Amino acid sequence: MAADKSKNDRKKIAVEEPTYDQLKNFSRFNGLKTRTVVASMVDIMLQDEVLSRRVVEQCLTADAEEAN
């Protein structure tokens, strides 16, 4: 039953294939679960205002480049 609960608590997210490959390789190289790495990155980003701003700026830049 615990396994069913944990699967129900998960959501799928869409990422581009190169991003997924980098995340998967990083996770495997360090012996970590990919979902744990993503959760940790989000926690760290939300705790660090400078890092949060860098993420927002990079996203805005990438979106602008994609639109052109």
Band (pLDDT 50/70/90 cuts) for residue 1 is: very low
Domain ranges in the chain are: 17-67
Q: What's the CA gap between 36 and 39, in Å, rounded?
A: 5
* pLDDT higher than threshold 50 for residue 52: yes
pLDDT at 25: 97
pLDDT at 2: 54
Q: What's the CA gap between 25 and 16, in Å, rounded?
A: 14
Mean pLDDT of 13-27: 95
pTM comes to 0.77
Band (pLDDT 50/70/90 cuts) for residue 54 is: very high
